[in-house]
């Protein structure tokens, strides 16, 4: 009987985690970083946001990067030198994925964010 209760609790937690909106935002940010590492430089330009490779996990949000040709490694996202709250992650997610975001526009043109910014500078002037 206790095994059934434990199994139900574990399944309930997995369902909650799978449909948790903040977990989905974090997975989307992770997916964006896996697709285009130049987004890290773009995030570092946001006021208070920083992505660092070497930090303890209690000071930042740990994002695992899984490149195709290299082993997995961790990047840590911080906001004002601390771990971002759920609301702050939501703001970062919206800044990266909104229709008017540079990230969205760059990926629609199938180019990294860094190249898109360079392209914008050359075509606007």
Q: What is the pLDDT of residues 76-114, one digit of tens each?
A: 999 998 999 999 999 999 999 999 988 999 989 888 888
Measure CA 26 to chain center.
Answer: 5
Q: What is the pTM assigned to this prediction? A: 0.78
Segment 20-34 shows an average pLDDT of 89
46: alpha, beta or left? (left if phi > 0; alpha if psi -120 to 50): beta
CA gap 53, 5 in Å, rounded: 40
């Amino acid at each position: 009987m206790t095994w059934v209760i434990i199994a139900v609790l574990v399944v309930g937690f997995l369902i909650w985690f799978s449909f948790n909106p903040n977990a989905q935002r974090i997975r989307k940010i992770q997916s964006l970083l896996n697709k285009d590492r130049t987004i890290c430089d773009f995030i570092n330009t946001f006021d208070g946001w920083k992505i660092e490779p070497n930090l303890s996990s209690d000071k930042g949000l740990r994002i695992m990067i899984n490149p195709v040709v290299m082993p997995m490694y961790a990047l840590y996202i911080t906001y004002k030198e601390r771990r971002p709250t759920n609301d702050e992650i939501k703001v970062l997610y919206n800044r990266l994925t909104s229709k008017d975001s540079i990230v969205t526009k760059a990926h629609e043109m199938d180019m990294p964010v860094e190249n898109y910014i360079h392209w914008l500078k050359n075509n606007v002037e």
